[in-house]
Structure 1
Amino acid sequence: MVTWKSIVPLLFLAALVIFEERVSVPSCVIVPRDDDVEESGIESEELKVMMVSNLLLMGSEARYLNVYFRDSYTTKFFRKSFERLKPDMLVVLGDISARGSEFTSGKWLSVLQQFQRILGPFLGLPLHVILGDRDIGECRKLNARSVEWITRNLPGLDSSGSGTFEMSNISFVSLNAVAMLCGNNDLRFSIEKVIERESLDLQAYTKEKEGKVVHDTIGDNNFLNFKWRENLMQSGSGPVLLLHFPLHRTRSSKCGKDVPKGSLFPSPHGHPKIQDNRGHAGPGPYELFQTLPPNATEYIFQALKPRIVFSAHSHEFCDHIHRDGIREVTVPAMTWDARDDPGFIVASFARNRAVTVSQCSLARESRVLMAYGSVLILLISTALIASRHLLMNPVR
């Protein structure tokens, strides 16, 4: 005869399976804007892009906890996000790897294989990946040959780690922001050429629409000297810009007011300071408050006039308006290796040029572990009670 004591473990296991499915579903809310335009843009949605960052994969170097727990949940996060949100494209804003700059080509390939396993249904969608500081290292370790090898294995990047593409009549430009921190570096000069070429193409397109002619005036200008070419395009009329490092902020940011942990706080040195809530991943090659320098930021604004900027690196969500009105959204880390409460964003681009950003949160690792611990304790308690019952009532 089946007793309730024999059914309890099965009920616990069934509850755990249901719990796993529920906690892997993202919770998304539209980010409100003080200067929001009409929300009718949502109705005329043209392109929906899921943006993630800082996956911090270890490939063949992954620890037991990552292989059998964190990676499993990350895979569920991607699968449930795909099923629920139905995005048209996936963008990864750098730091696929946790220590890619130290890896050999063999270890890098294991990271890319791990990445493909985690993506699941996203493998059928357009994908764009940019490089982060953990992927290619700091300036003193930056190697053009290594960067070129990595870019050959990632879609849509040139040998410098930058790329341009178009989806649903929306132009995107991704830049190797790590190289832009360096001084006299060949990669940095290659990034400048990408910016200048894209700037000329945008101006030529604008002038063509107006029936005018644009002349190629590229010279020796770069973002280290402030001698920029005149750009008569309106602010916000350029492409969607994708970066790993955030741009320099010229006024205080409101980031951190609505973020319970790991918030941005002003430091006496003028940089935001990160309240550390990360695990073993560590701060990485660059500190988490690192941004592009002011001159590089102004150079980008002047040359590209971006429609909106998406960045990463800090592990935190941030929605910031720069002084010229350009909006920058910083994407949080999507891994428990970086923070207890991972997340990502979904950007919806409308035909009227409105961009709606949704901030998506994922389950906290501490809560998942607590649930597993509770189930384990209940199972052990049930087993002990059953054993005690058998000792007190032996079968004759």
Structure 2
Amino acid sequence: MQGVGSVCLSLRYYRPIQFLVLILAFVFYCEFLHYFLVLLWCQWPVLDVKNEDSSVPSGYEPPLKVMILADTHLLGPRKGHWFDKLRREWQMYRAFQSSLAIHSPEAVFVLGDVLDEGMWESGAEFQKDISRFQRMFKTSHNVPQHVLVGNHDIGFHYMMSEEKHKRFEKAFDTPSAKLLRIRNNIFVLVNSMTMEGDSCKLCSEAVNLLKDISWQLKCSQGAIKKMDLPQICETIETFPYTKPILLQHFPMYRLSDSNCSLPDAAPDSEKDIPFRLRIDCLTEEATNQLFDWINPRLVIDGHTHHGCYRVHDNGVPEWTVASFNWRNKRNPTFLLAVFSNNNFAVSQCFLPNEFTVISIYIFGGVFLVFTLLCSRHWFGRRVRSSKSL
């Protein structure tokens, strides 16, 4: 009898431990392993050799692998429940760090709306939230990260101020317009809110910077002939020219998302809603100016929280990247892009669908409850049988 009692006592402790192990296993899968398994399906795109230009001079660098995301919208002190804030930030942290580990990009671009409440925050609140972003989206020292400004970071044109812009520029080295060269690929970064077309101080500053960049690109390309202002290029720094990639927060001018057919495009109920100029996209005039000044081979932007791919009348493709935050999108995405000096390829990567994760948790909960009930039934039968002895 004493031996049976000791066996029952050991079972009493064994079952709760087994139950706890199962709970931890489900949590580990949903919060760690699931991210890796989903992101493993995403692969770097392959450059189409048919598009390679054999006339490009030798000595150019190998293709550059870039990760591009948008609209992280870290909640500030005013909006959202604390659990919602905690949950979304963990999801983004886990997804970003898992993707870095799996794909090893050589550069990362974040296309604005880093914060959700940056346009309202005090200096201390802004610094605190920027520090959170930098911890969550930290990259290794050999992977440069370039962050663009969005309307939630400093406000739309009517809310934007020099003070808000300068503190964001100081945090991320992001002026109103910037030319960036990585492995002989040229990127032009633009503050979309300055493309208003008026004479505001930041708008004039952006236009002057873009004009300077335009001259630098044209001189580097050799597009300015000696008979056309030969002295203009003598004082401008030139470099090996490749067609630029234009990065910004707002999409280029378009009427709506009606022609967007990607899997993460806007739902059908929203696709035909007309875009508001300077709020949802750039004006047609600003779009044409950027095409004229930059002459890009590709445009990549965010802001709408939905994915979109379109080709402009001039043949330039445009990718709009969906929000990286599950608060804005149940199936967030980002881009993996490969750039050679005269070619590019882009692939879209999906993060774990929140519905799938919730379903796994529900299934796990039902399974654990079933296991617990079965173990109690089995344990009760063993105790009754031991008493009969």
- Give the TM-score band, short-chain normalised: 0.7 to 0.9
- What amino acid is the match of 1:321? V
Query: Could you list the runs of 5+ residues in structure 1 that have no partner in the other structure?
Result: 218-235, 273-285
> Residues 1-396 of structure 1 correspond to what in structure 2 (within 5 A)?
7=18, 9-25=20-36, 26=39, 27-28=41-42, 38=50, 45-59=62-76, 63-122=81-140, 124-155=142-173, 157-158=174-175, 161-181=176-196, 183-207=198-222, 214=229, 238-249=243-254, 254-256=259-261, 258-259=263-264, 262=267, 267=272, 269=274, 271=275, 290-351=280-341, 353-387=342-376, 393=383
Taking the aligned partners of 1:130 and 1:140, their CA distance within structure 2 comes to: 19
| 2:235 corresponding residue in structure 1 | none
Percent of pairs identical after alignment?
Answer: 23
Deviation at 1:20, TM superposition (A): 3.4
Taking the aligned partners of 1:147 and 1:13, their CA distance within structure 2 comes to: 45
Taking the aligned partners of 1:263 and 1:347, their CA distance within structure 2 comes to: 28
Taking the aligned partners of 2:362 and 2:273, their CA distance within structure 1 comes to: 42
Taking the aligned partners of 2:258 and 2:356, their CA distance within structure 1 comes to: 30
Query: Could you list the runs of 5+ residues in structure 2 that have no partner in the other structure?
Result: 1-6, 54-60, 233-240
Taking the aligned partners of 1:117 and 1:103, their CA distance within structure 2 comes to: 19
Is the alpha carbon distance of 1:66 and 1:11 closer, same or farther for their aligned partners in structure 2, counting shifts above 3 Å? same
Taking the aligned partners of 2:247 and 2:360, their CA distance within structure 1 comes to: 37
* Equivalent pair of 1:16/1:375 in contact (CA under 8 Å): no
Deviation at 1:163, TM superposition (A): 2.0
* Equivalent pair of 2:35/2:351 in contact (CA under 8 Å): yes
**CA-based RMSD:** 3.4
* Equivalent pair of 1:60/1:111 in contact (CA under 8 Å): no
State the aligned residue count.
Answer: 355
- What amino acid is the match of 1:109? Q
Is the alpha carbon distance of 1:320 and 1:96 closer, same or farther for their aligned partners in structure 2, counting shifts above 3 Å? same
Is the alpha carbon distance of 1:182 and 1:376 closer, same or farther for their aligned partners in structure 2, counting shifts above 3 Å? farther
Is the alpha carbon distance of 1:260 and 1:384 closer, same or farther for their aligned partners in structure 2, counting shifts above 3 Å? farther
SS of residue paired to 1:110: helix
Is the alpha carbon distance of 1:257 and 1:57 closer, same or farther for their aligned partners in structure 2, counting shifts above 3 Å? closer
Higher helix share: 2
SS of residue paired to 2:222: helix
Deviation at 1:381, TM superposition (A): 3.8
Q: Which range is displaced more, 77-86 or 17-26?
A: 17-26
TM-score with structure 1 length normalisation? 0.78
